[in-house]
A = this chain, B = another copy of it.
Amino acid sequence: MPEPRDVRVALAGYGHVGKALHRIIEERADAIAEAHGIVLRLVAIARKGRYVTDADGLGLADARHWKHGNIFEMLGEVEADIFVEATPTDLETAQPALGHVRGALREGLHVVMANKGPFVVAAKEVQQRAAEAGRLVRGEATVGGCIPVLDTARQHFAGDPVQRIEGILNGTSNFILTRMAEEGSDLDQALREAQQLGYAEADPTADIDGHDAAAKVVILANQVLGQDIGLADVEVQGIRGVTRQAVELAKAHGMRIRLVAEADRNGLARVGPRLVPVGSPLDVAGALNAVRFTSDLAGQVTHIGAGAGGTETAAAVLVDIIDVARSSHDRPNDP
């Protein structure tokens, strides 16, 4: 067990994920210190042009007295080790997250992202800046919520590289397809149900038309499969064209229609409705996500779990924070 040491976290974004992370750090800091010798302190929070800092760590009650100012002013006011980017994702510009990430790396912080934007729009640039700064960039929370995806690819498949990934990476569309098969309903009915239950947004375009899943394909292709692509390189088909009849025909043949995201090392990067055998690991029900890794030695390994949710996403951020804290401490080439 190494000596306990402080790991100071600065957070941008204080929605579901940011708040859940704050609560988790407050509740679990002692247990994490005891188990890993890492004393986590949340020393800064920025939200919508305001921020609050405390070098001793911000309790939940401290997230009230917001000052006007941006995250660069915030980072100038308090020292931190890890920057967590949890503002809302913009898949076109990646802003404001990309600017935040650049600034944090410039300030010498490691970066952990819940925001998908920077990995979708500027993955290579971010990795290069991180490498030049000798800092780590992680984004476990950007794909598959708290399912181990990027960390599994990095650690477990270190000597047997993942060759191909297929995934059910959008819980909303999977919920809709599941209900269509269960209830014999059509897409509009199932969508309304998903909206009533909070599984779908009022504007479901990103989910239904496959754009959210496509963003995750970009992340997997770039982070795991050695590609260097953007959203425009993904062949995307959503589920709008999936009829009740098609779902029933699939069912009659022992299959399900699922919105499958796929990428490999040969440039494959696509999202679309696919037939999946009933009972196969990718045939997950409801809002679950699934990720299937294919490698030469291990064959196929599938991970299933909750792909969304503030607490689950924050849990994935915590995975990265602890990994960065351990790795940056241990690595001799890391200042």
Interface positions of A (Cβ within 8 A of B)? 1-2, 24, 28, 31-32, 35-36, 146-148, 151-152, 155-161, 278-281, 283-285, 288, 295, 297-306, 311-312, 314-316, 318-319, 321-323, 327, 330-333
Whether the Cβ atoms of A303 and B301 lie closer than 8 Å is: yes
Interface of chain A, helix or strand or loop or mixed? mixed
Whether the Cβ atoms of A298 and B279 lie closer than 8 Å is: no
Q: Which 4 A-B pairs have the closest CB atoms?
A: A330-B330, A297-B315, A301-B305, A146-B298
A1 to chain B, nearest CB (A): 8
Closest to A40 in B: B159
Whether the Cβ atoms of B155 and A155 lie closer than 8 Å is: yes
Whether the Cβ atoms of A297 and B321 lie closer than 8 Å is: no
Q: Of B156, B304, B333, which is within 8 A of A304 by CB?
A: B304
Whether the Cβ atoms of B322 and A35 lie closer than 8 Å is: no
Whether the Cβ atoms of B312 and A297 lie closer than 8 Å is: yes
Whether the Cβ atoms of B306 and A299 lie closer than 8 Å is: yes
Whether the Cβ atoms of B146 and A323 lie closer than 8 Å is: no
Closest to A283 in B: B279
Whether the Cβ atoms of A160 and B318 lie closer than 8 Å is: yes
Whether the Cβ atoms of B160 and A156 lie closer than 8 Å is: no
Chain B contacts for A148, CB-based, 8 A: 148, 152, 155-156, 301
A317 to chain B, nearest CB (A): 10
CA distance A303 to B160 in the complex (A): 18
